[in-house]
Amino acid sequence: MAAGVVALVLAAGGGWLLHDGTDGLGGPPLPAPVPPASTAPTAAPTGTAKPTPAPAVPPLAASVPTRIRIPAIKVDAPVTGLGLTPSQQLDTPPTDQRNLTGWYRDGTAPGAAGNALVVGHADTRSGPAVFYRLGLLRVGDTVEVSRKDRRVAVFTVDSVRVIPKRDFPDALVYGPTERAELRLITCGGKFDRKTGYESNTVVFAHLSKTR
């Protein structure tokens, strides 16, 4: 299934990555307010335009990701491959493994040309999880993805947004791109015990270095 189709499933699913382990903690941290237009991140609020491309770094060949490191928020976690559930929703990492992220294995590999998708729980019933602090990332922070081929793809954050599930911009988040990009996604925004989190926190990043 193409990434664009999966986007529709993710946006409509509503129940993925929804747990209430952060009761009493106020929910996952939110991104900083967007600065004035002259200095704002390039991700368009309408979801119809693409971020302004940064200078291209030659993409790598596809290879399975094995670990993700985000120094700014102290994430150092293994990556597991995820497929689709029988109801055609993206599966999630096991909730009993709080420090585990999931990569959509039928999509783009991190470092290869296109949009790679990595998801993680913000919390579980036992407390904060791997992507709980995702909203604290800032433009210019880095994300390092180690791969099975022993290469490391380093991504630079372009923007961080909290996007209501009801208005999820599929084309912006999952649309095709010629350069290598990365999307990190978890739950965010307000939490309701009946409906779960109302939004997703999404990090937009581009490949800026390989080693």
Q: Which residues lie closer than 8 Å to 85 by C-beta, 6 or more apart?
A: 91
Amino acid letter at 183?
R
State how far the Cα of 89 lies from the Cα of 10, in Å rounded to an integer. 6
Per-position pLDDT tens, the chain of length 211: 344 445 434 443 333 443 444 444 556 776 765 554 433 444 444 444 445 555 678 999 999 999 999 999 999 999 999 998 888 777 889 988 999 999 999 999 999 999 999 999 998 888 899 999 999 999 999 999 999 999 999 999 999 998 887 777 777 887 888 899 999 999 887 777 777 777 889 999 999 999 9
Question: In Å, how far are 43, 132, 142, 143, 192 from 75, measured between CA atoms?
Answer: 24, 10, 11, 9, 27
- The CB density around residue 39, as the number of other CB atoms within 10 Å, is 8
132: nearest Cα among 80, 92, 188:
188
Structure tokens that stand for 150 in this block: 């022993």
Domains of the chain: 3-32+60-210 (2.40.260.10)
